[in-house]
Amino acid sequence: MATKSFQTDFKLNQKASAKLAEALENSKRVKHTIQKPVNELKTPDSINKMMASFLGK
């Protein structure tokens, strides 16, 4: 599987910092809930079975 690495330099000027501060002030906390039942996989065998069913093996 090929992977790519990205590196970006961000410059924070006065205009960008004002917009960032405004966005932080106006942001709202996101409320979310899990709608489906959750099963914890604790053993390697159970993880392998789940992955096999997911990958169709």
Give residue 5's pLDDT.
67
Token pair for 40: 């914890």
Q: Which residue do the tokens 């106006």 mark?
A: 26
Termini Cα distance of the chain: 19
What is the mean pLDDT for each group of 10 consecutive residues in the chain (57 residues)?
Answer: 66 87 90 88 91 81
pTM to 2 decimal places: 0.36
- Distance, in Å, from the CA atom of 48 to the CA atom of 41, rounded to the nearest integer, reads 10
